[in-house]
């Protein structure tokens, strides 16, 4: 499935600011139906890059049109039988589009780019074209906890709040030691990433709220931040390339 390009506005906010803003927006938003009873969802993404981290350096170099490839699950680990998603995230300036393929029951082969299979030809062509140009290998994982909301009126508008961001090597399991290690954190525990995503113009209640909270847009590249945290050379020289479930 290929989604249309959409605008993604990102802000780094203190949790208190986020709480105030979400309260202001509460009548316009509804909780994501896949969240737990408290409205939270764990998100774990295994990113794929070339052995020399071409996608990472394209980001650093400010290449206008670039992409990322990842396998995502809404859980604390990849495990057999879990629902997961293979994604190509394409960026053109501030606009983003996803090519997404759902894996209804994850198996070990799904972690290997050479064994990916797709239900529809359009999605297969997109992934195979990319794999033909870039020799994909597991590079880094990113874990965080998300609160997600959809607009009550605007069908394409979503608001997400991501916190507890941590970087992990490929194949590394989330554990008490890794999660407690401050060197793996991608930002302070008092901060979160607020994103507003829409294929249409933003309604006044969004822009008015952002202005009232004195928010300033800033890029927050989760994957690039994870690579920098783990160490470029450590990943280029091999990292933990064995990925298992």
Q: Which CATH number does the domain housing residue 128 bear?
A: 3.20.100.30
> What confidence score (pLDDT) does residue 243 get?
61
C-alpha span between 91 and 99 (Å, rounded): 11
- The encoded tokens of residue 115 equal 């064994």
The reply to whether 99 falls in a domain is yes
Percentage, residues of the chain above pLDDT 90 = 54
C-alpha span between 162 and 221 (Å, rounded): 12
The reply to whether 244 falls in a domain is no
The reply to whether 240 falls in a domain is no
The reply to whether 241 falls in a domain is no
What are the distances in angstroms from CA 87 to CA 16, 143, 144, 168, 220? Answer: 32, 16, 17, 19, 19
Give the structural domain span for 119: 6-233
Alpha helical stretches, state H, 182-240 = 204-212, 222-230, 232-236
C-alpha span between 18 and 15 (Å, rounded): 5
The reply to whether 245 falls in a domain is no
Predicted structure pTM score:
0.91
The reply to whether 238 falls in a domain is no
> What confidence score (pLDDT) does residue 121 get?
85
Residue 98 pLDDT exceeds 60: yes
Residue 93 pLDDT exceeds 80: no
3-class SS of residue 140: strand
Task: Write down the residue that tokens 């901060």 correspond to.
Answer: 191
Q: Are 205 and 20 in contact (CB under 8 A)?
A: no
Residue 112 pLDDT exceeds 90: no
How many CA within 13 A on the CB side of residue 68?
Answer: 22
- The encoded tokens of residue 27 equal 């009548």
How many domains would you assign to the chain? 1
163-168 long-range contacts, CB within 8 A, separation 24+: 163/15, 163/189, 163/191, 163/192, 163/193, 164/189, 165/193, 165/222, 165/225, 166/142, 167/140, 167/141, 167/142, 167/225, 167/226, 167/227, 167/229, 167/230, 168/140, 168/141, 168/142, 168/143, 168/226, 168/230
The reply to whether 114 falls in a domain is yes
Residue 53 pLDDT exceeds 70: yes
Residue 176 pLDDT exceeds 60: no
The reply to whether 92 falls in a domain is yes
- Residue 196: pLDDT band with limits 50, 70, 90: very high
């Amino acid at each position: 499935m290929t989604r249309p390009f959409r605008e993604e506005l990102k802000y780094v906010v203190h949790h208190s600011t986020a709480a105030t803003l979400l309260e202001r927006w509460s009548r316009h938003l509804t909780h994501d139906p896949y969240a737990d009873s408290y409205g939270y969802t764990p998100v774990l993404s295994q990113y794929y890059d070339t052995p020399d981290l071409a996608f990472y350096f394209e980001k650093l170099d400010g290449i206008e049109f670039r992409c990322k490839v990842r396998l995502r699950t809404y859980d604390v680990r990849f495990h057999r039988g879990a629902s997961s998603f293979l994604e190509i995230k394409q960026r053109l300036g501030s606009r983003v589009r996803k090519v997404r393929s759902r894996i209804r029951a994850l198996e070990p082969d799904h972690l290997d780019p050479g064994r990916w299979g797709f239900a529809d030809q359009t999605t297969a062509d997109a992934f195979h074209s990319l794999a033909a140009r870039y020799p994909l290998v597991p590079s880094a994982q990113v874990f965080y906890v998300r609160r997600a909301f959809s607009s009550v009126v605007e069908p394409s508008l979503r608001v997400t709040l991501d916190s507890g961001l941590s970087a992990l090597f490929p194949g590394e399991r989330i554990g008490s030691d890794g999660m407690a290690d401050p060197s793996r954190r991608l930002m302070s525990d008092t901060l979160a990433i607020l994103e507003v995503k829409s294929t249409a113009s933003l309604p006044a209640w969004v822009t008015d709220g952002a202005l009232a909270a004195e928010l300033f847009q800033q890029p927050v590249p989760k994957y690039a931040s994870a690579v920098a945290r783990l160490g470029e050379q450590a990943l280029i020289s091999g990292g933990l390339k064995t990925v298992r479930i």
